[in-house]
Amino acid sequence: MNLNSLTKTNGEWLRALGPDADIVISSRIRLARNLSSFPFTNRVNAHQKAEIETYLKGRLEAVDFEPRLSYLNLAALSTLDRLLLVERQLISRELANSEGPRGVAFAPNEIISVMVNEEDHIRLQVIRSGFSLDEAWQEADRLDDKLEEKVPYAFSEELGYLTACPTNVGTGLRASVMLHLPALVLIKQIEKVFRALQKINLAVRGLYGEGSRASGDFYQISNQVTLGKSETTIINEIRDVIPNIVNYERQARQALTRESRPLVLDRVQRAFGTLKSAAMMTSEETMDLLSSVRLGVNLGLLDDINITEVNELFIHTQPAHLQKLIGRELDSDERNSERARFLRNRLREIDPQVN
């Protein structure tokens, strides 16, 4: 499989076609599973680790599931290719940076991916555009059932699925939703939202997982508790809270349009102008400026560019995507210069009319 092709298509979650896609970027279900016949990944020796990989590669390629999954041996890939998969959200940064036999199986539409030899032997993920937790869960559950027919999972009648880290024991389920909340950030209400979420045991992170700053006003909200509740209860708890945040963001956007239209318009247009003209641009600044542009498109302040195009710019300006698109490896300074050139070229023909 030629990874370069990834830069020529968009994963389903980037297409902004799902429900509430103006605010909800994506919904994600992740299941942690382990083989009953091997120690956890952090306890295996090199030989066992290779055995696990070979075993799971075979099962994943053979599983009776549509769409078919293609398996990639991550150890054989370049650092750049692994980073590309991280940016696509097909693998975790931890798996990319770890050592030894490991891999990922994923479907061409990038909705489904299964990591092998991450913290757990199996990390199954379904990610969908917009607010689609139920659809994502059904898809994950279906693949999990099919895999379970072929693969003996480590399971305890008392505890449920056994995982390398106790925080995942039980369902092994993490449900998360990626939100774009620029208006709540602008009106300085985002901290209030965080505090409310923490009170009900939901975690908030940036776009690229734990510890990442919320660049571009992207916030990922997920459950923390996996044990003592059914999958449906966990998903319901997070699913029920999302519409409140979505409405809160929507109200903030309306308030901005009503009360501070010139200020917002100025911010949006300047962001677009800077993206079109800068000679150097970090990934961080790009995300922050694109966040303003995305807000502008959603508020109807800009036309001639749509949300799918903006989403694509978010991912194409990430370091690995950028280097793939340029066609060579670049150091940090070169990336900032090439990123700016890339943005100027992409946006050159776009002259959004002020509405």
Which residues form the interface with a second copy (CB under 8 A)?
Answer: 262-263, 265-266, 268-270, 272-274, 276-280, 333, 337, 340, 354
Q: State the amino acid at position 148 in one-letter form.
A: E
Nearer Cβ to a second copy (61/259): 259
Who contacts 61 (Cβ-Cβ below 8 Å, separation ≥6)? 69, 70, 71, 105
Give the H/E segment covering residue 105.
strand 103-106
Closest CA to 31 of 105, 137, 132, 106: 137
SS3 353: coil
Contact 123, 147 (CB under 8 A): no
Q: In the numeric block, which tokens belong to residue 94?
A: 């931890």
Tell me how far, at minimum, the Cβ of 313 lies from a second copy, in Å.
16
Nearer Cβ to a second copy (74/265): 265
Tell me how far, at minimum, the Cβ of 337 lies from a second copy, in Å.
6
Spatial distance between the Cα atoms of 204 and 284, rounded to a whole number of angstroms: 19
Nearer Cβ to a second copy (160/296): 296
Tell me how far, at minimum, the Cβ of 29 lies from a second copy, in Å.
41
Nearer Cβ to a second copy (214/289): 289
Tell me how far, at minimum, the Cβ of 213 lies from a second copy, in Å.
23
Nearer Cβ to a second copy (23/275): 275
Give the H/E segment covering residue 30.
strand 24-33
Q: In the numeric block, which tokens belong to residue 70?
A: 């293609």
Nearer Cβ to a second copy (201/345): 345
How crowded is the C-beta side of 210, counted as CA atoms within 13 Å?
Answer: 4
Tell me how far, at minimum, the Cβ of 259 lies from a second copy, in Å.
14
Tell me how far, at minimum, the Cβ of 227 lies from a second copy, in Å.
51
Tell me how far, at minimum, the Cβ of 338 lies from a second copy, in Å.
12
Tell me how far, at minimum, the Cβ of 179 lies from a second copy, in Å.
27
Q: How many secondary structure helices (H) and strands (E) does the chain include?
A: 12, 10
Nearer Cβ to a second copy (109/274): 274
Nearer Cβ to a second copy (229/276): 276
DSSP state of 281: -
Closest CA to 320 of 7, 1, 9, 5: 7
C-alpha torsion sign, points 282, 287, 292, 293: positive
Tell me how far, at minimum, the Cβ of 270 lies from a second copy, in Å.
5
DSSP state of 158: T
Nearer Cβ to a second copy (136/183): 183
Nearer Cβ to a second copy (72/302): 302
DSSP state of 10: -
Spatial distance between the Cα atoms of 245 and 234, rounded to a whole number of angstroms: 18
Tell me how far, at minimum, the Cβ of 5 lies from a second copy, in Å.
31
Closest CA to 258 of 191, 187, 192: 187
The answer to whether the peptide bond before residue 108 is cis (omega within 30 degrees of 0) is no
Contact 91, 123 (CB under 8 A): no
